[in-house]
């Protein structure tokens, strides 16, 4: 532990800090001492989180010491207590008359990050320091509640009302133990994250949710997702006290978007219709009961377990308000796709026509909350109350504050100054009548009816939320991230002053980073992802050749980022069809980021294992900017030696919200408000693209000994304006290449030098290292499966769920060598084989149902997005490597077939785990009645092969957007000949498909035949060395008894890694 003094504050740091870390901590302390807001940028890998914690907690301890010194001063009446430590040495706070005199006045630290997984990493860093503050982590009931009856509710707001009902009647045994257990030493003296709280709650049978709220009162530092701070509703719900607090936003590059979204809403026809249905049902039910003897005037609705009362007439008024609101919104004749836009203050005029005003808001809001609570607490059939909850949120947002009659107009103008009202047609295909068969074809009936309108109320200034924090009386606000550049434009959007700023340098040297703008591909074609060029065959072909060549030069792991999922998917389809994918796959097996989060962790494990496999040349991971891989993962050392940016990820230019945002900023620029500098619409549009690029770039260099290459494959990066928007630590190293050959030459030289000067991370085989598996396993299980040396391996790449076990999916079984990787390949490509065991339970029966008719199970939802691009690639990896190195090993085809059979059997086991995991998730998300109905429906489908019946009986999953993923998850149970139709119906009703590909419609026999024919046609191994012009330098040197040179990609034309002369197909294998 190292101690250093910065601005009069002694900071304990786990190791000797770098200069950039000292600069960073000095700026943090300056913000705290001067009560000044700060915006601090420090590159990823410079330890900014550790610096932030140490500096903040050291200052807080110093602050407490000044209070002690002040009390000593008062008692000694100015005399010195210690002759060698005069009171003046404590700083001005020791004698300043404004210094607080109570320890309760020590500022609380509110530490916010984007997600709980990021907060878990922060808490892990805190445990590595010498500071032991009292800690509290705030979370939702979704994450912290352990009451089975509450957690089985289908939506979050229903869980909220169910929980409140149990708490109010003290019928929750876990809540009843909170007061007793909140002083437990194990709890108070420990630094616990969300998972630790849940474990403690289960162990002690105490509610983690209310336990965290109890800990908040005495906590020195409170960890929270930053939407809890920025969203006024969440802030009130969690009772977060901000007066005098220090507010820190880590990973603040997303704050702008969160600020705007937290104060915006979209009210869909489905929301209004579901609210009307819920109220109408309650009204009919209570009117029926009233007719049995009670008079309407005396009748009251008793909200279950709450004691709240609501007159029947009030329920009828609420229904009328909802009907009027629906009529008003649909009364506007909206042009197709364009919609109509009004000033923000128009929202009050529109809502007034539905009898929603400042004077009526309180009564309506209370009535809506009581109705929602009553329906949520009703046993039996689930009633969708999401529409009621949405309307409650809207009233809280629009009618904020309690202005007098004189101040009302000014208040409304102030509230809506940074908003726009947008009304546009609903194209989501959600039906208003929940009782109708949502699976039925609607091509004829719905087209003749007028589509409902969506009412949107959008905020276009993140400063609106930031100013509300300042108004709460915070001491200071610190925004920090690795990608905030350019700081001037970022701070101008926030509309509050930031006297303290920092653009920190990196800790790396010149020889550790290579940055190039690649203007043209190896065939001379200009590279560009501009809208007019991105899907031109010549452009996609040139990009494919570029990536193929780079994959030969960049060692170990290669990351390739696309602007969006649609661009990535179309480009990869083109590469598959034209052979580019095969060239990449030959060198670095390809892993693709899936759209959904369900299979993400399995894909990442496959990539990590492939890079770690000493028998492979590494792997390539294809992802999108703004996706999970671009922000949430750490590709340190060999996991990310190079990152390829294939284009600029601009927001969709024709999206109404993007258009209105740009118009709003241009309008603000014309007004030129004093003291506020706004970006123009075009400047903001460009900033959004480069901020996403900068995040992706930050995945590579992760610590002081790391090194890697940043390859910008779009000619638009060569402009000086574009390079100026790159991170400050990258700009000095950018070189623009017009010749692709020069890029390959310099890149090869860079890696030769870096590998000699920098420590080489040892690659470990899948059998040697169980690191990926241990990330998801308890410590005890790891210790039994790994040797002591293996269990202590430093974690080089962090998966999101490594920090939140509740989010972990069951890992694929660990297998050694190529067999383990072949299993992953086969599993991702849905080559499933029939299990030999008899069905022992429902899960087994569901899995085996298709095999009785000789048909294949489908892949899990979206899993085909995450597959390797060629079926036999991983099965033949080791043989390919031997061939590329000129090896002479003779491998018979029958041996490979045995390997394939083993891997396919293991694949079946992985599928069983996924099926069980999916059904467990469905049981957790649905009511018991609905779950049993869907299970029965699946069993019936296996017997009858009647897809129409299945579609009708699972319609309950379309009533709530939260269950859309469950609907798509049923894809794995659908038989091959039905998969395409099921995918189309899901796409129509939920807006997203199941990832259908034509190969999914093949039966088991057809796939076996295809695999066998491919194995026969493809002579993967030759017993003779390849022709001399195709032999690697390593092989030639080995044959001649010399030391092999550094690996370099060369071809017969002597041009380094050239794609103009692709190698001819290998000669036939000789048996």
Give the annotated binding-site residues for [4Fe-4S] cluster. 145, 163, 172, 207
CA proximity to 32, closest of 61, 4, 12: 61
CB distance 861 to 969 below 8 Å = yes
Separation between Cα atoms, residue 891 and residue 805, nearest integer Å: 42
Helix (H) or strand (E) holding 935: helix 928-944
Strands 221-225 and 109-113, by their bridges, are parallel
Half-sphere exposure of 118 (CA within 13 A, CB side): 19
Q: Strands, E, within 101-166: which ranges?
A: 109-113, 135-137
Helix (H) or strand (E) holding 302: strand 300-302
Q: What's the CA angle centered on 360, arms 358 and 365, to 5 degrees? A: 100
CB distance 645 to 696 below 8 Å = yes
CB distance 258 to 225 below 8 Å = no
Half-sphere exposure of 125 (CA within 13 A, CB side): 17
CB distance 664 to 341 below 8 Å = no
Separation between Cα atoms, residue 213 and residue 175, nearest integer Å: 12
Q: What is the 3-state secondary structure (H, E, C) of 479-546?
A: EEECCCCCHHHHHHHHCCCCCEEEECCCCCCHHHEEEEEECECCCCCECCCCCCCCCCHHHHHHHHHH
DSSP for residue 1069? P
DSSP notation for 953-977: HTGGGGSSGGGHHHHHHGGGGS-HH
CA 682 to chain centre: 27
Question: Which long-range contacts (C-beta less than 8 Å, at least 24 apart) are formed by 529-538?
Answer: 529/562, 529/563, 529/567, 529/646, 529/647, 529/648, 529/714, 530/647, 530/716, 531/653, 534/563, 534/567, 534/647, 535/570, 537/574
Q: Which pair of structure tokens corresponds to residue 534?
A: 């991105």
CB distance 631 to 654 below 8 Å = no
Strands 135-137 and 221-225, by their bridges, are parallel
Q: Sign of the C-alpha dihedral, residues 456, 461, 465, 467?
A: negative
Separation between Cα atoms, residue 204 and residue 390, nearest integer Å: 36
Q: Is 16 exposed, middle or buried (0-12, 13-18, 19+ CB in 10 A)?
A: exposed
Strands 642-645 and 708-712, by their bridges, are parallel
CA proximity to 765, closest of 877, 868, 870: 877
Q: Which pair of structure tokens corresponds to residue 593?
A: 């980021």
Q: Is 368 exposed, middle or buried (0-12, 13-18, 19+ CB in 10 A)?
A: buried
CB distance 860 to 914 below 8 Å = yes
DSSP notation for 15-34: SPPPHHHHHHHHHHHHHHHH
Half-sphere exposure of 341 (CA within 13 A, CB side): 12
Separation between Cα atoms, residue 230 and residue 212, nearest integer Å: 20
Q: Which residues have C-beta within 8 Å of that of residue 640, sequence separation ≥ 6?
A: 557, 558, 559, 699, 700, 702, 708
């Amino acid at each position: 532990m190292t101690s250093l003094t910065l601005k009069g504050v002694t900071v304990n740091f786990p190791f000797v800090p770098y200069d950039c870390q000292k600069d960073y901590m000095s700026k943090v302390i300056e913000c705290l001492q001067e009560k000044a807001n700060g915006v601090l940028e420090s590159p990823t890998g410079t330890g900014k989180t550790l610096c932030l914690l140490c500096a903040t907690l050291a200052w807080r301890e110093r602050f407490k010491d000044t209070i002690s010194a002040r009390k000593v001063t008062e008692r000694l009446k100015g005399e010195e207590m210690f002759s060698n430590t005069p009171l003046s040495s404590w700083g001005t706070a020791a004698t300043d008359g404004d210094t607080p005199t109570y320890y309760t006045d020590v500022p609380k630290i509110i530490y916010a990050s984007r997600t709980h997984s990021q907060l878990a990493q922060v808490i892990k860093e805190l445990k590595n320091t010498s500071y032991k503050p009292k800690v509290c982590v705030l979370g939702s009931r979704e994450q912290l509640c352990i009451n089975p009856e509450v957690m089985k509710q289908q939506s979050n707001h229903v869980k909220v009302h169910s929980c409140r009902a149990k708490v109010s009647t003290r019928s929750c045994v876990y809540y009843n133990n909170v007061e007793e257990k909140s002083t437990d030493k194990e709890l108070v003296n420990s630094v616990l994250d969300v998972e630790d709280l849940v474990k403690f709650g289960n162990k002690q049978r105490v509610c983690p949710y209310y336990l965290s709220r109890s800990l908040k009162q005495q906590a020195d530092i409170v960890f929270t997702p930053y939407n809890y701070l920025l969203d006024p509703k969440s802030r009130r719900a969690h009772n977060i006290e901000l007066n005098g607090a220090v507010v820190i936003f880590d990973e603040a590059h997303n704050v702008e978007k969160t600020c705007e979204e937290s104060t915006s809403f979209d009210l869909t026809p489905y929301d209004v219709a579901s609210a009307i249905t819920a109220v109408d049902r309650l009204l009919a039910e209570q009117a029926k009961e009233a007719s049995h003897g009670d008079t309407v005037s005396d009748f009251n609705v008793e909200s279950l377990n709450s004691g709240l009362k609501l007159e029947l007439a009030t329920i009828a008024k609420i229904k009328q308000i909802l009907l009027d609101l629906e009529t008003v919104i649909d009364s506007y004749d909206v042009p197709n796709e364009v919609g109509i836009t009004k000033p923000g203050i128009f929202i009050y005029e529109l809502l007034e026509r539905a009898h929603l005003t400042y004077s009526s808001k309180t009564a309506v809001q209370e009535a809506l909350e009581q109705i929602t609570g009553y329906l949520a607490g009703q046993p039996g059939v689930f009633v969708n109350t999401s529409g009621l909850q949405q309307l409650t949120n809207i009233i809280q947002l629009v009618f904020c504050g309690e202005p007098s009659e004189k101040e009302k107009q000014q208040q409304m103008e102030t509230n809506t100054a940074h908003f726009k009202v947008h009304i546009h047609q609903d194209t989501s295909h959600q039906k208003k009548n929940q009782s109708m068969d949502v699976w039925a074809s609607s091509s004829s009936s719905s087209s003749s009816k007028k589509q409902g309108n969506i009412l949107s109320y959008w905020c276009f200034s993140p400063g609106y939320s930031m100013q509300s924090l300042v108004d709460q009386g915070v001491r200071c606000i610190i925004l920090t991230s690795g990608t905030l550049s350019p700081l001037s434009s970022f701070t101008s959007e926030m509309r509050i002053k930031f006297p303290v700023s920092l653009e920190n340098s990196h800790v790396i040297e010149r020889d550790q980073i290579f940055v190039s703008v690649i203007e043209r591909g190896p065939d001379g074609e200009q590279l560009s992802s501009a809208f007019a060029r991105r899907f031109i065959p010549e452009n996609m072909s040139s990009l494919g050749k570029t990536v193929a060549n780079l994959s030969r030069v960049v060692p170990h792991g290669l990351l390739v980022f696309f602007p969006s999922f649609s661009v990535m998917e179309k480009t990869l389809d083109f590469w598959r069809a034209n052979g580019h994918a095969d060239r990449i796959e030959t060198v670095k097996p390809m892993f693709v980021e899936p759209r959904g989060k369900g299979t993400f962790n399995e894909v990442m494990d496959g990539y990590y294992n492939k890079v770690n496999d000493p028998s492979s040349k590494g792997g390539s991971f294809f992802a999108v900017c703004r996706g999970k891989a671009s922000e949430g993962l750490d590709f340190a050392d060999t996991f990310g030696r190079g990152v390829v940016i294939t284009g600029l990820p601009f927001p969709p230019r024709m999206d109404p919200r993007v258009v209105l945002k740009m118009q709003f900023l241009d309008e603000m620029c014309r007004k030129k408000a004093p003291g506020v500098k706004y970006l123009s619409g075009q400047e903001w549009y460009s900033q959004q693209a480069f901020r996403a690029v900068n995040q992706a770039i930050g995945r590579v260099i992760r610590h002081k000994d790391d090194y890697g290459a940043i390859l910008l494959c779009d000619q638009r990066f060569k402009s000086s304006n574009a390079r100026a928007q790159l991170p400050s630590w990258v700009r000095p190293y950018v070189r623009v290449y017009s010749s692709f050959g020069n890029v390959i030459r310099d890149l090869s030289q860079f890696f030769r030098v870096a590998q000699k000067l920098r420590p080489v991370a040892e690659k470990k085989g899948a059998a040697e290292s169980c690191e990926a598996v241990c990330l998801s396993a308890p410590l005890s299980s790891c210790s039994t499966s790994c040797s002591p040396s293996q269990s202590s391996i430093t974690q080089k790449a962090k998966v999101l769920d490594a920090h939140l076990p509740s989010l972990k999916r069951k890992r694929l079984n660990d297998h050694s060598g190529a067999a383990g990787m072949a299993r992953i390949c086969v599993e991702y490509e849905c080559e499933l084989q029939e299990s030999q065991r008899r069905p022992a339970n429902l899960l087994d029966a569901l899995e085996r149902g298709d095999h009785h008719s000789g048909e294949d199970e489908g892949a899990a939802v979206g899993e085909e997005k995450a597959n390797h691009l060629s079926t036999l690639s991983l099965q033949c990896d080791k043989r390919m490597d031997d061939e590329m190195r000129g090896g002479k090993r003779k491998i018979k085809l029958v041996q490979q077939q045995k390997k394939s059979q083993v891997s396919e059997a293991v694949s079946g086991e992985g599928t069983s785990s996924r099926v069980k995991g999916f059904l467990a998730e469905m049981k957790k998300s649905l009511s018991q009645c609905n779950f049993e109905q869907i299970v029965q429906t699946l069993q019936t489908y296996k017997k009858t092969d009647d897809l129409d019946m299945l579609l009708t009986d699972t319609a309950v999953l379309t009533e709530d957007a939260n269950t859309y993923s469950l609907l798509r998850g049923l894809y794995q149970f659908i038989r091959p000949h039905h998969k395409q139709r099921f995918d189309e119906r899901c796409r129509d009703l939920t807006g997203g498909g199941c990832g259908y590909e034509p190969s999914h419609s093949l039966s088991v026999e057809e796939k076996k035949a295809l695999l066998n024919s491919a194995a026969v046609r493809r002579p993967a191994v030759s017993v003779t060395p390849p022709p001399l012009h195709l032999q690697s330098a390593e092989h030639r040197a080995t044959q001649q008894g010399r030391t092999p040179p550094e690996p370099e990609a060369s071809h017969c034309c002597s041009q380094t890694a050239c794609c103009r002369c692709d190698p001819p197909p290998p000669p036939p294998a000789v048996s």
